[in-house]
């Protein structure tokens, strides 16, 4: 039987932003203003909004790539500002999928997937085996030994998704993952997200301009001018 603390941890939000603001250029440009948001385990959240609305800023703060000017981000109710190493936090709890992939050009697909694992406990052999398994899960096993330049953009994004799962993260943060893909490739990536959620129970936060992406998510958060405009169930967005 689970302990009360474990039950409480299960019920508490996985990620929480509390009254978070982020300003740039000596405080004169406010990218995010007083935003509060909770993301539960295994939730699929689409973050939408026009360009410059603060979507990416929010994602960067949730993923500990950046720190808020005001407010606090909590992971399992632990404030990120009190964590000893944000590098370690990112390595073990966050998976990133970027619009422009950011694959290392000198490494093959299977080598790129192993990159985050250097901060984990696996041996060289373990890293390789896990990377192959992840590439298998995203349908890229046959292209494992190819360099990024030898892959199509859709294939590159699949490799990026496999890399984001390298350390079994608690949450995957995707910044416009279909933004550089054609309709078919984009649809395949979204199908992949769906199947990975089913298979790994991954919590997913996706920034998107696409209504189709938002429609697949359980929840859509709309941001405008650095504030949350709406936060509701995604169907019918």
User: Which is closer to another protein, CB of 165 or CB of 213?
Assistant: 165
**How far is 227 from 222, CA to CA, in rounded Å?**
9
Token pair in block for residue 173: 């943060």
**How far is 65 from 62, CA to CA, in rounded Å?**
8
> Binding to another protein by residue 104, rule CB under 8 A?
yes
**How far is 166 from 121, CA to CA, in rounded Å?**
12
Give the binding range for another protein (CB under 8 A) out of 24-32, 60-68, 69-77, 208-216. 60-68
The full 3-state SS of 181-201, as one line of letters, equals CCHHHHHHHHHHHHHHHHHHC
C-beta atoms surrounding 90 within 10 Å: 19
> Binding to another protein by residue 127, rule CB under 8 A?
yes
> Binding to another protein by residue 55, rule CB under 8 A?
no
| Burial (0-12, 13-18, 19+ Cβ within 10 Å), 47 | buried
Give the binding range for another protein (CB under 8 A) out of 31-39, 161-169, 183-191, 202-210. 161-169
- Least distance CB 197 / another protein (angstroms): 21
Rg value, the chain, Cα: 18
> Binding to another protein by residue 176, rule CB under 8 A?
no
Give the binding range for another protein (CB under 8 A) out of 29-37, 99-107, 206-214, 221-229. 99-107
> Binding to another protein by residue 111, rule CB under 8 A?
yes
User: Which is closer to another protein, CB of 39 or CB of 64?
Assistant: 64
Three-class DSSP category at 6? helix
Sole binder of another protein in the list 70, 77, 119, 168 (CB under 8 A): 119
> What is the b/e burial string over 61-89, where b = at least 16 CB atoms within 10 angstroms of the residue's CB?
bbbbebebeebbbbbeeeebeeeeebeeb
User: Which is closer to another protein, CB of 127 or CB of 216?
Assistant: 127
> Binding to another protein by residue 157, rule CB under 8 A?
no
> Binding to another protein by residue 65, rule CB under 8 A?
yes
Give the binding site for another protein (CB under 8 A): 60, 63, 65-66, 85, 87-92, 96, 98, 102, 104-107, 110-111, 114-116, 118-119, 124, 127-128, 131, 147, 163, 166-167
């Amino acid at each position: 039987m689970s302990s009360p603390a474990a039950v409480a941890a299960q019920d508490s939000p996985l990620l929480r932003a509390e009254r978070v603001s982020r300003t740039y250029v000596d405080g004169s440009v406010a990218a995010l203003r007083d935003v509060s948001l909770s993301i539960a385990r295994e939730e699929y959240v689409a973050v939408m909004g026009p360009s410059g609305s603060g979507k990416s800023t929010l994602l960067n703060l949730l993923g500990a790539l950046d720190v808020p000017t005001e407010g606090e981000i909590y992971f399992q109710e632990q404030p990120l500002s009190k964590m000893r190493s944000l590098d370690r936090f990112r390595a073990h709890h966050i998976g990133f999928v970027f619009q422009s992939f950011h694959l290392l050009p000198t490494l093959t697909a299977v080598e790129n997937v192993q990159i985050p694992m250097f901060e984990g406990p696996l041996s060289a052999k373990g890293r390789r085996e896990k990377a192959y398994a992840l590439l298998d899960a995203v349908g890229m096993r046959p292209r494992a030994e190819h360099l990024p330049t030898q892959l199509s953009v859709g294939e590159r994004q699949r490799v990026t998704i496999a890399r984001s799962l390298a350390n079994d993260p608690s949450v995957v943060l995707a910044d416009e993952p279909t933004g550089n893909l054609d309709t078919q490739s984009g649809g395949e990536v979204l199908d992949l997200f769906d199947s990975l959620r089913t298979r790994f129970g991954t919590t997913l936060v996706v920034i998107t301009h696409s209504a189709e992406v938002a429609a697949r998510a359980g929840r859509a958060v709309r941001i405008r001018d650095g504030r949350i405009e709406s936060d509701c169930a995604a169907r019918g967005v």
